[in-house]
């Protein structure tokens, strides 16, 4: 599959599961909180 471009969307997850992706801000904050909670970066 090297060199083949695959196109995919989240449309099925949205329609079947009602899933909504996080905003960029929410994702960044959640990542930072996880890193702090796990002790990988100082608070």
Torsion, Cα 33 34 38 43, to 10 degrees, reads: -20
pLDDT of amino acid 1: 82
> pTM higher than 0.75, yes or no?
no
Q: What is the distance, to the nearest Å, from the Cα of residue 11 to the centroid of all Cα atoms in its chain?
A: 15
pLDDT of amino acid 15: 96
- pLDDT tens-digit series, residues 1-43: 899 999 999 999 999 999 999 999 999 999 999 999 999 998 7
pLDDT of amino acid 14: 95
Q: Where are the alpha helices (DSSP H) in the chain?
A: 11-17, 24-37
pLDDT of amino acid 42: 87
pLDDT of amino acid 43: 77
Domain count, the chain: 1
Residue 4 belongs to domain spanning: 1-43
């Amino acid at each position: 599959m090297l060199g083949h471009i695959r196109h995919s969307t989240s449309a099925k997850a949205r329609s079947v599961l009602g899933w909504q992706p996080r905003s960029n801000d929410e994702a960044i904050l959640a990542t930072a909180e996880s890193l702090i909670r796990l002790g990988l970066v100082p608070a």
